[in-house]
Amino acid sequence: MKNSQVAIIIAIAVLIGYTLVKLGNSATYSDFTTAASAGGDATTVIAFLDLDAEMTFEPKSVQFSFGAIDKQGKKQRIVYYEPKPQDFERSEEITLTGYDADTAFIATEILMKCPSKYNEQNEVDSDKIYK
């Protein structure tokens, strides 16, 4: 075999190995019960804002805490060491990345799914636009 063929085979093997490692580390969605049993490893939980729970922000420690309910119905206290995201109360769904601690779920990242401004009442009939 030529040196160039060996180099190509090695490059393909490295690329396949890299892809397998990335797929193995890809996050899966879980619930608060699974996050509690993860032993402090980072997990991603899809939840809804618990409107009955208290929402507080402590400016000195930059700590925002609130309640959330996962898709299994389990309520959990969430602590986020960043300011409250804008329009947080309007979010339909919250994706929390973080880890479970003894007293709360510590969120390192929060992604919000806000309600769509497009609904059936605001749909535009495209056939009527250019006639």
In a domain? residue 2: no
The CATH number assigned to the domain holding 58 equals: 2.40.50.140
| 116, pLDDT greater than 70 | no
In a domain? residue 9: no
Mean pLDDT score across all residues of the chain: 83
In a domain? residue 16: no
Concatenate the DSSP letters of all residues of the chain into one string.
Answer: --HHHHHHHHHHHHHHHHHHHHHHT---EE-HHHHHTTTT--EEEEEEE-TTS--EEETTTTEEEEEEEETT--EEEEEESSPPPTTGGG-SEEEEEEEE-SSSEEEEEEEEEPPPS--GGG---HHHHT-
Query: Could you give the number of structural domains in the chain?
Result: 1
Determine the structural domain holding residue 105 and report its residue range.
Answer: 27-113
In a domain? residue 122: no
| 17, pLDDT greater than 90 | no
pLDDT of residue 129: 52
In a domain? residue 131: no
| 25, pLDDT greater than 90 | no
In a domain? residue 60: yes
Reported as a pLDDT band with limits 50, 70 and 90, residue 2 is confident
